Structure 1
Amino acid sequence: MPATARTTTPFDLDAYLDRIGWEGERRPDAATLRGVHLAHAGAIPFENLDAVGGTAPSLGLADLMAKLVHGRRRGGYCFEHNTLFAAALEALGLRVTRLAARVVVGAERFEDRPRTHMVLLAEVPGDPRPYLADVGFGAVTCLLEPVPLTVGAEFHDGGRRRHRLVHAPRRGPLETWVLEAGRQGADGGWEAQYAFTPEPFEASDYEVANWHVATNPRSPFSRRPYVQRLLPDRHLLLDGRVLTETRDDGTVTARKPGDDAQVRRVLAEEFGIAAPEGLRLSEG
């Protein structure tokens, strides 16, 4: 094969698995898919600091490995996380279809929200059901483990969250799937998180969405820091100047770091993130 036709991948499965602390089997099966998904969710934080600094983050695998896996002490948002995770699943022998979803939390009409969230369908050899996998949703209701693409069944992923998939009314030839999260509290109701169809999306599609999310002045991700981390018994969220801790029992506490130096300390000590030099992190 001519040198110009050869392709190489900068993805390093050993380094990735070491980064997320996965020491289990490396098999293309459901148990490995669940375990690696949960390990990734607990190891690499969600953050949008590149966008806050006015830059759309690179989605190239070499750059993602350098930022999220190797020594830069950073995380990323959905396009970064799920691009990296898809490469890991494929290296483990699973087939992955990359999709785009509409984040519909609080929306009256799903169609009013653009497709700005990347999700994955992972296929396990011998299993007739694909799995919805998503390690990049920036919310306390994010998936901890992949869930089978099955209508109506309730899943307790990671033993800590409740999710289910339902169908929305169809407006075209493809089924519209909706991920719902179980609310805590007495009512135990459900809240729609995002909606998607099983139409494959390509790298060029995500480049456009990534640029829009990171640089559009109306995007919430371009205006203020939004950082989250999953810990064994709690979830941390830094939204602008508010640090919120949500424990698994539903207890919520919040505090406000003050100036940039305090926010940087919070990022380093609570999230394990080294914020870029010169980036303004506090508001007002």
Structure 2
Amino acid sequence: MKYYDFLVNAIGNSIEDPAKLPKGYQLIGHVVLLSIHPDLLPLADVIGELTLEFESRSKSVGVRMGPTRGQKRIPNYKLVAGSKNTTTTHTENGIEFKLNPMRITFSRGNVNERIFLSQQVSSDEHVVDMFACVGQFSLPIAFHSGANVLAIDINDLAYDFLCQNIRMNEVHENMTAVLGDCRDVTFRDADRIVMGYLHDTVDYLPHALNGLRFRGGIIHMHSLVHGNDERKIRNTIITESSEYGFMAKISSRPIKKYSPGVSHMVFDINLDSNR
């Protein structure tokens, strides 16, 4: 039985509009993350307990109470059912990620991008992850390609988990973590740079361009794209790249729908020196 049908059978007769019940959830380790219609928030505890009953792998259920906050990307979830211990280990594509998804942003919706990116990197590359969090992109790259990886994050809790994950996945010989604002961290001669941040990411592009090898390289820039703003972002990338002595060839890929009229996209920027 599907999750939605399970909820309808359990409490559908007791609510005004069963169509507002959640259709699915994210399972990260043993923690279920739910988005619930505002009208059903008074029933969050009930839905949480039913979710524990439905999902045998779960031990904790958190409900989204608002948007992710600030540069440190702090999620806004409330524990509504199950264990208060929400630190967990999530296994994906051969990688173990230790984290607390109630306090650290981790989206399972990006799994295909994580797999895709790890397959693009060769062992002789120097890769910089400017927004590493717990290593969502950088760990698979280091583990599967053997490339040298520098992973930077500004969130001290994410950094602690990142360091643990480097040791747990045994990539400590080719992966280094740094705590700080990526714009304050000096790096040079990168072959490839990952910018897995969504809000005004293009503002960080100059620092990425400054950290590339003289001959150029590749930047994977994630961004939220509102409506028809893709062309505007592309033009900004071309202008900024030219100012740093690079010619940019850009391709873009949708990752997922973020909200009505807003998409999460990746801009793959191939840069050649024109100096």
TM-score normalised by length of structure 2: 0.26
Higher relative contact order (CA 8 A, sep 6+): 1
Larger radius of gyration: 2
Higher strand share: 2
